[in-house]
Chains A and B, each alone.
Chain A
Amino acid sequence: MSLLSADGITKEFGGLRAIDDLSVSIDEGELVGVMGPNGAGKSTFFNCVSGVIPPDNGTVTLRGTDVTGDSPESLAHRGLVRTFQDTRELETMTVRDNVRLAAPDQSGERTLPALLRSDEMKNEEVAVRRRADQLIETFELDHLADEYSSNLSGGQRKLLELARTLMLDPDVLMLDEPFAGVNPTLTNEIADHVRGLNDDGMTVVIIEHELETLTSLVDRLVVLQQGRLLVEGEPGVVLEDERVIDAYLGGDVE
C-alpha cells in the first residue's frame, strides 16, 4: 500500500482550475520528482497535500488515514513535513533557534513546565540543542549558528530550511524547489543530502525545474501539465516521452 496518496484532488482559484482530478501515489522509501511547466499546478498540489490549502474535491491519504484538509501542524505530527518555494525563514530568529523551534513534543512549550523550569524541560532543551547543533553542523552552517537568519544567503537559507525540517525527523519530506537560486556546487551538496536521507529510508517528494539534477536524483518522475497528470515513470523513459518534450518546448498539446 502506498504511504502517501492523492486521489482525484481538484482545486480551483476563482475560474482557474489549478489542479484537475489529479491522482498521485507515493510508496514508502521512494524518491519522487514532480515537474511540469510553470502553472502546471505543482505547488498547488503540494499545498493541497500538506494542508496549507484544502482541496475542493478528492482525498489525501497518509498511511491509510484520510488526512484531507488536515492542518499543516497535524500533518507535521503525522510525519509529513514540507519546505516552501520562496524559502521562508524565521528571519527574526537565529539560525539555531530556527532549527530548535522544530523539535517536536517539547514540554517547555507548555506554560506550566516553562514557568516551573522543570528538570524535564531543562534536560530536553539540552538534548534539543545538541541535536540542532548536529544538524547545523551537517549542513555546514555552524559558523552562522548565532546569526539572525535574515543575514543568510539564498543557498544557506535552503540548507537551513532543510535542517529545520529534519529536526522533526519526518517520514515524508516534501521539498518545493530546493535548488532554485542555488549555485551548482551547493545544488550537488543539497542533492547529496537528499539522496542520503532517502537511503536512510525517508520518503522524499521534490518539485524542481532543474531537470538534470532532478532526473539523476529521483527514482520516479511525475510530470504535471495544466493541473493534470501528463506522464509518470522512470526518469529516462519520461524524458524521452513526446508529450513531455512538447510540454516543455511549447509544442501543440491540445
Chain B
Amino acid sequence: MSVRDRLPSGHGNTALLAGIGCLLVGGLFSLTPLQAELPSVLYVFVEVGITFAIYGMLVLGLDLQYGHTGLVNFGHVVFFAVGAYATAMVAAQDTFSGIGLGYPWPLALLVGVIAAALLGVVVSATSIRLRDDFLAIVTLATAEIFHSIFVNFEGIFGGNVGILGVPRPIAGLVGDADTRVVATLLVLGGVTLITLATVTRLTDAPYGRVLRAIRADELVTRSVGKSTITYKTQAFVYGAALAGLAGGLFALYNGAVAPGFFTIQVTVTVWIGMLLGGAANHRAVLAGLAIIMGLRLISRFGLGVTPVSGDVFAALRLVVVGLILVAVIRFRPAGIWGDPQELGVDR
C-alpha cells in the first residue's frame, strides 16, 4: 500500500506524463489550424472542468498545508485572489477601472505567483508559530482584510468592478469558440496534473515524511533534529504560491478579475472537497473536489425539473452539501479515500 511505504515511485510520474501530454495537445489546438467540435450539451461540462482544474491547484496546495503538515488555513482564497489581481494588474491593457500596466502576460503570471508567495511568507513570519486554531483565525482575517482592500481601494483595484482588459492568451490564438474551450481545458488540466506530480514527488520523498511528522507531533519532530518552523513555513509558502498560480491562470482565462470571484465560498469549496476526498492523499482531494463541483453541476440541471423557485433551490443545494459533509464526518471521518489511521481519527 502506497501510504505505508512512500518510496519514490508510482503515480507521480503518470500524472507528470499525462500533464505534459495535455499541454502538448492543448498547444496543438492553440497553435495550429486544428479545430475541435464540441456538442453544445458538453459545453457546460468543459466550463466546469476548467474551473475544476483551477480549483484543483488550490486544493493541492491546501492539502500540502493541512493534509500533510497540519496547518489550518481558512483563508486560502486570499492567495488565489492576490495571484489573480497581481497578474491582472501587471498584464491588463486599457482596463476600465483600477490599474493596468500592460506588460506581457508571462511576466504578469510570474508576478502573480511571487506576490502570493510573498504574502505567504509574511503570514508565516508572523503567525506560523501559532497553534492550529489561532492560525486558522489569522488566515481567515487576512482573507477578509484583503477582500475589503480590493473592494475599497477603487483607484488601484477597481472596486467591485475589478480589473478588466486582462489579455487571454488562448483566446488570442484561437478564434473558434469550441476549439478555444477545449484548448483551455487541456492546458489548465495539464498544469493541474503537473502540479499533482510535483506535490506527489515532494510528499513521497523524505520531505513529506517530515511534514507528516510535524502534523503528528511537532515536539518529537524537533527532538529528532528537524527544524519544524522552516518546514512549516515552506509548506505554507508553497501552498500560497500554488494558489497564486491558480489565480494568475484564472485571470488570464477569464480576462477580468473582480472581488465577486474571490469570496469565502472558494475557501469553503476547496476545504469541503479536501475533507470529502480524504486529506493527505493528493488524488483523493482532487476526487473530493470533483464530487462537490459535480454536485453543483448536476443541481444546475436539477433546477429545471424541480417545482421550486430558484432561491429555494439554491438554499436546498446548500442544505444537501451540508448534509453530505455531516454524513462524511459521521461515517467516514477521514474522507472517502482517506486513511483513518494516518489521519488519527480511528480512535
User: Is residue A190 contacting chain B, with contact meaning CB distance below 8 A?
Assistant: no
Residues of B within 8 A of A73 (CB): 222-223, 225-228
Residues of A within 8 A of B344 (CB): 91-92, 150
Decide if B216 touches A92 in the complex (CB within 8 Å). yes
Which of B185-193, B203-211, B265-273, B309-317 lies at the interface with chain A?
B203-211
Decide if B207 touches A117 in the complex (CB within 8 Å). no
Q: How far is the CA of A129 from the CA of B206 in the complex (A)?
A: 11
User: Is residue A211 contacting chain B, with contact meaning CB distance below 8 A?
Assistant: no
User: Is residue B217 contacting chain A, with contact meaning CB distance below 8 A?
Assistant: yes
User: Is residue A24 contacting chain B, with contact meaning CB distance below 8 A?
Assistant: no
Residues of B within 8 A of A84 (CB): 219-220, 223
Decide if B213 touches A101 in the complex (CB within 8 Å). yes
Decide if A114 touches B222 in the complex (CB within 8 Å). no
Given A97-B209, A101-B224, the answer on whether A88 and B217 have CB atoms closer than 8 Å is yes
User: Is residue B20 contacting chain A, with contact meaning CB distance below 8 A?
Assistant: no
Task: Flag A123-139 by CB within 8 Å of B: 1 or 0 each.
Answer: 00100110000000000
Decide if A76 touches B224 in the complex (CB within 8 Å). yes
User: Is residue A81 contacting chain B, with contact meaning CB distance below 8 A?
Assistant: yes
Given A97-B209, A109-B207, A114-B201, the answer on whether A88 and B225 have CB atoms closer than 8 Å is no
Which A residue sits closest to B228, measured CB to CB? A73
Contact of B342 among A81, A88, A129, A148 (CB under 8 A): A148
Contact of B212 among A93, A104, A114, A125 (CB under 8 A): A93
Q: How far is the CA of A100 from the CA of B224 in the complex (A)?
A: 11
The number of chain A residues with a CB under 8 A from chain B is 46
User: Is residue B5 contacting chain A, with contact meaning CB distance below 8 A?
Assistant: yes
Contact of B224 among A113, A128, A165 (CB under 8 A): A165
Given A93-B212, A115-B202, A150-B346, the answer on whether A168 and B225 have CB atoms closer than 8 Å is yes
Residues of B within 8 A of A94 (CB): 4-5
Residues of B within 8 A of A96 (CB): 5
Decide if A114 touches B226 in the complex (CB within 8 Å). no
Residues of A within 8 A of B346 (CB): 150
Residues of A within 8 A of B227 (CB): 71, 73
User: Is residue B343 contacting chain A, with contact meaning CB distance below 8 A?
Assistant: yes
Q: How far is the CA of A146 from the CA of B223 in the complex (A)?
A: 23
Decide if A92 touches B342 in the complex (CB within 8 Å). yes
Given A102-B225, A164-B224, A168-B224, the answer on whether A91 and B205 have CB atoms closer than 8 Å is no
Decide if B207 touches A108 in the complex (CB within 8 Å). yes
User: Is residue A110 contacting chain B, with contact meaning CB distance below 8 A?
Assistant: yes
Contact of A111 among B207, B228, B342 (CB under 8 A): B207
A-B contact count (CB 8 A): 123
Residues of A within 8 A of B206 (CB): 100, 103, 106, 108-109, 114, 121, 125, 128
User: Is residue B330 contacting chain A, with contact meaning CB distance below 8 A?
Assistant: no
User: Is residue B177 contacting chain A, with contact meaning CB distance below 8 A?
Assistant: no
User: Is residue A220 contacting chain B, with contact meaning CB distance below 8 A?
Assistant: no
User: Is residue A10 contacting chain B, with contact meaning CB distance below 8 A?
Assistant: no
Decide if A72 touches B223 in the complex (CB within 8 Å). yes
Q: How far is the CA of A146 from the CA of B217 in the complex (A)?
A: 19
Residues of A within 8 A of B225 (CB): 72-73, 76-77, 81, 102, 104, 168
Decide if A121 touches B205 in the complex (CB within 8 Å). yes
Which A residue sits closest to B209, measured CB to CB? A101
Residues of B within 8 A of A167 (CB): 224
Whole-angstrom distance between the Cβ of B8 and the nearest chain A Cβ:
5
Decide if B341 touches A148 in the complex (CB within 8 Å). yes
Contact of B213 among A50, A52, A90, A165 (CB under 8 A): A90
Which B residue sits closest to A113, measured CB to CB? B205
User: Is residue A122 contacting chain B, with contact meaning CB distance below 8 A?
Assistant: yes
Residues of A within 8 A of B8 (CB): 117, 121-122, 125
Q: How far is the CA of A96 from the CA of B4 in the complex (A)?
A: 9
Residues of B within 8 A of A71 (CB): 222, 227
Q: How far is the CA of A73 from the CA of B176 in the complex (A)?
A: 59
Which residues, 16 to 37 on A, are CB-close (under 8 Å) to B? Answer: none
User: Is residue A82 contacting chain B, with contact meaning CB distance below 8 A?
Assistant: yes
Q: How far is the CA of A121 from the CA of B6 in the complex (A)?
A: 14
Contact of B234 among A91, A111, A117 (CB under 8 A): A111
Residues of B within 8 A of A103 (CB): 206
Residues of A within 8 A of B205 (CB): 108-109, 113-115, 117, 121
Decide if A90 touches B5 in the complex (CB within 8 Å). no
28 contacts between A and B (CB under 8 A): A52-B223, A72-B225, A76-B223, A81-B224, A89-B220, A90-B213, A90-B217, A91-B344, A92-B216, A93-B212, A93-B342, A97-B212, A101-B226, A102-B224, A106-B206, A108-B205, A108-B206, A109-B206, A109-B210, A114-B205, A114-B208, A117-B205, A121-B205, A121-B206, A122-B8, A125-B7, A168-B224, A168-B225
Q: 3 closest Cβ contacts across the A-B interface?
A: A76-B225, A114-B205, A108-B206
| Extra A-B contacts (9), CB below 8 Å, given A77-B225, A92-B341, A101-B224 | A71-B222, A73-B222, A76-B223, A90-B213, A91-B217, A113-B205, A114-B206, A129-B7, A148-B342
